[in-house]
Amino acid sequence: MKYIIDTDPGHDDFFAILYAIRRLDVVGLTTVFGNSTVDNTTQNALRICDLAQSDVPVAIGAGKPIVGDFVVSAIHGNDGLQGGKSIPQTERKADPRSAVEFLIEMGRAHAGSLSLIVLGPMTNIALALRIEPKLADWISEISFMGGATATGNVAAFAEANVWKDPEAAQMVLSSGIPLRMAGLNLTNQARLSQTQVDQLANAGTKIGQHASEILAFYLKQHSARYTHPDGPMHDPCAVISLVHPELFKFRDTAVSVELASPQLRGMTICDMREIAPFPGEVLPEPNVKVGVQLDGPACVDAMIEAILEYR
């Protein structure tokens, strides 16, 4: 299986990308707005690929949602990777194709053997599906970090990636593509702490040092926001579940996105009821494998192990 990572780096994207390049056959990255502007997230993606000594193409994607505008995620600082100033800048340029063009071309070329890992708003995928509906048949699966079965983060019931472009998320959820969801209810079970900062800093590698600085800033920001000394490993969970499915439990669930209510806009409505229909009653059909449980320490160990392999 080949993979494209659609991403808005982002501190947790940093770790997810490095892990994925080490463990999977990644054939490209597409960037999107979200944790910062698309110009910043693209530069961050290029810098991360250089750091990993990976020459995979990076294609620039959407700079705003399908409807309205967006606000960058303050928890990631001014440029999306604040705290990573020591990561070298790059002279490398983005791919001449747009993210939508890249997704469609790669989908056509690798039909049936291409999966997507989506770590930001789903705008690029929704726009690609609008232009080429056959893409839904070409993609084997989408593993995405987004949504939540209950409590949100950017709003009471909305998670940031879905909230920043709920129309795009609903288009993808209703596309018929097999979907695997790593929502906040799952990713909050995998926690990073000062122990990991020290482990990375003491590894004696450049990537370990960069990773420790990135993680230290992220934990500081997260602690200020949520008053916890550790922080959740959001985006890597969407990747690790592909490599170590034995560490995760998923439930087939009907999921949709609320678009109309001002108070609930961006909420992922997950029908977690365990019920049988009454005669004549039609229940929503499951369309997403929703992550409900993971082995947090084992997931953290798996990610750190992959980062420490870089020399």
Contact 77, 221 (CB under 8 A): yes
For residue 204, what are the contacts with CB-CB under 8 A and spacing of at least 6?
A: none
What does pLDDT average to over the chain?
A: 95
Does pTM top 0.95 for this prediction?
yes
What is the predicted pLDDT for the residue at 136? 98
Q: What is the pLDDT of residues 87-111, one digit of tens each?
A: 889 999 999 999 999 999 999 999 9
Q: Is the pLDDT of residue 169 over 80?
A: yes
Is 13 known to be catalytic? no
CA dihedral 22, 160, 182, 138 (to 10 degrees): -70
At 246, list the tokens: 């034995």
What is the predicted pLDDT for the residue at 177? 98
Q: Is the pLDDT of residue 130 over 90?
A: yes
What is the predicted pLDDT for the residue at 229? 85
Given 8, 12, 79, 165, which residue is catalytic? Answer: 8
| Beta strand pairing call for 179-182 and 139-145 | parallel
Other C-beta atoms closer than 10 Å to the C-beta of 300 total: 21
Q: Is the pLDDT of residue 269 over 80?
A: yes
**Domains of the chain, start order:** 2-308 (3.90.245.10)
pLDDT mean over 265-279? 95
What is the predicted pLDDT for the residue at 74? 76
Q: What is the pLDDT of residues 4-19, one digit of tens each?
A: 999 999 899 999 999 9
CA dihedral 161, 183, 268, 253 (to 10 degrees): 140
Give the confidence band of 311 by pLDDT, cuts at 50, 70, 90: confident
Contact 267, 169 (CB under 8 A): no
